[in-house]
Each structure stands twice: as structure tokens, then as C-alpha cells.
Structure 1
């Protein structure tokens, strides 16, 4: 789905720790985060990103097969921008991505220290 968006480039990570490192290095506008990651959970990775001044402003969208209402509420309470369940609904995913990108345009950007 991302490949259909010429205005976007997808960076991927095999686990939560690498995802946090990539986010800190590249400062993406939006992060898509699976909940069930090797190493640390998506919730833990998102919380690390939200505590870091460099990445705290980045909206993180959860993508998960954990679709019961309790899991969704837990994810949203933890701080995800949105929580989408698998299988992904294309229209909902693209709409959420647009919302997150719009949010990113108006969020506080990190101060780069020279």
C-alpha cells in the first residue's frame, strides 16, 4: 500500500529495538508499529519514542492482530495515535495515514542540536 504513495518511503525494522534506532536516526513523519514484536513489544517501543525529545512528536499508528476491544483500548491509552487491526482495511489505513501526516505537519518538531 505504501508503494502506491510516491510521496512516501518505507523504512522497516525486524524488531522494536531496531525500530527505535531507525526512528531516532531518520525522524520519520509517521511510524507504523506492530504490537507483537520480537525483543520488546510495540507498546514498549512506542513509549521509548514518546519519552525521547527527538521522537516524541511523531505519531505512532499501531497495527495489530490483537483486535479485541480491551487490546485496542490498552493501545490507545498507552499513547498510540490510532490503533488499526489486521487484516488491514485499505481505505481505513490510507485515511489514518493521511490523518497522521496532517498531524505531523502541525506537531512540534525536535530542536536539532549542532
Structure 2
């Protein structure tokens, strides 16, 4: 069982991702903004982060850069879970250091496969 931080400004998406992740036996911590995600990545030291990109204030790309550049959190893999589905979005997301890039609506099997791969890497 891993501790997974889910960062998304949509309560609906937070809830559905939480149900999938908890259903696979993992512990979940949630954050509803990029700023809160960065903060909780330090205070909760999760094993993995599921990060939305489109959020007001600090977006998911900016939050991920902060997390991956901080020596205390740089080791935490980040999977983007987003509505941004263009190839350029995917390439840019992966360049930010993401372990995977999944588009919404989320396919449960695809998400859990990416989670397992990121946790075993």
C-alpha cells in the first residue's frame, strides 16, 4: 500500500480518482490547488502524486516543477491526470519530469497500471 497525493481543483475528479486509488488498496491524501499540492508533498511525503494541470493559481506544470526541484520532494514520481489531450501537451508534461501522462476521462485500468509502474520504478 502506497500513500498517494491527488491534486485536482475539481471535487468530482478528486472523488473519482480517490475511489479508484483507494479501491486498489492505497492511502489517499488530497489537495485542491497547486499550492496546496506543493505544501502537502512536503508535509505528507507521499509515494506518488496524481497531478491535474489546469488549475487556477499555480497550475499543475508549475507545481510539478516546484516539487521536482526541491531536494525534499524530488524523488516523488508525478503522474499528470488532465483534460489536456494534445500531443504537445503530453510532450511538455513529460518534459517536466512526469512518470506518466493520462487524459480524462480516466480509464481505471490505465491509471492503475501507470500507478503500479511509477511505484515500482
TM-score, normalised via structure 1 length: 0.86
Q: CA deviation at 1:100?
A: 1.0
Q: Which residue of 1 aligns with 2:28?
A: 10
Any gaps of 5 or more consecutive residues in structure 1? 104-114
1:31-89 Cα deviation digits (max 9, x unpaired): 00000122111000000001111100000000110001111111111211111001111
Any gaps of 5 or more consecutive residues in structure 2? 1-19
Q: CA RMSD in A?
A: 0.8
SS in structure 2 at match of 1:12 = strand
Q: CA separation in 1, counterparts of 2:86 and 2:66?
A: 24
TM-score, normalised via structure 2 length: 0.81
Q: CA separation in 1, counterparts of 2:62 and 2:109?
A: 28
Deviating more after overlay: 53-62 vs 71-80: 71-80
Q: CA separation in 2, counterparts of 1:17 and 1:57?
A: 19
Larger radius of gyration: 1
Q: Which residue of 2 aligns with 1:64?
A: 82
